[in-house]
Amino acid sequence: MSVSTNDPDFLASQATLTALIAGFENGSWPGAKWTHAAHLTLGACYILEGNSALHRLRAGIPRYNVSQGGKNTEDSGYHETLTCFWAAIIRDFIAASQFPTTFAAVQPRGLFDATVLQYGQQRKLHEEYYSFDVVADRREWIPPLIK
């Protein structure tokens, strides 16, 4: 399976995937490469690694933002609802998939590729689940109202 001719380079091998995770966690992943596809892939990695995925994302994304010179304010940076929303979408996608569901068993060009293929172009998927501009409130989880 191929995502596209513009495959994210972090999906090329286990080593490049590991570099994404390590770079995110230590703040060295280039901000220009912190794309929606990178968010999706990291979320899938954390979900496959176990039950602390949402906790790790909640702690890691704000820390990463600061490492890149960003701020986590009411207007920018970490977004609680979108983080929880995407974690649930990815979790449900993994649960419904026919791929191995442990991190050690998954290789790039498999589940991670499929996740990016399915959702990589759907940055605004949340608009199908909310009848208002949920992006305006970053601090508190707001459950989906539609679907």
60 and 32 Cβ atoms separated by less than 8 Å: no
Amino acid of residue 6: N
Give the model confidence (pLDDT) of 39-78 as tens digits. Answer: 999 999 999 888 799 999 999 999 999 999 999 988 889 9
Give the model confidence (pLDDT) of 89-131 as tens digits. Answer: 999 998 898 776 666 566 556 888 889 999 999 999 999 998 8
| Residue (of 121, 116, 115, 124) closest to 93 by Cα position | 115
| Residue (of 132, 49, 134, 14) closest to 86 by Cα position | 134
Q: State the average pLDDT over residues 19-47.
A: 95
Please, what is the Cα angle at 1 between 90 and 112, to 5 degrees? Answer: 25
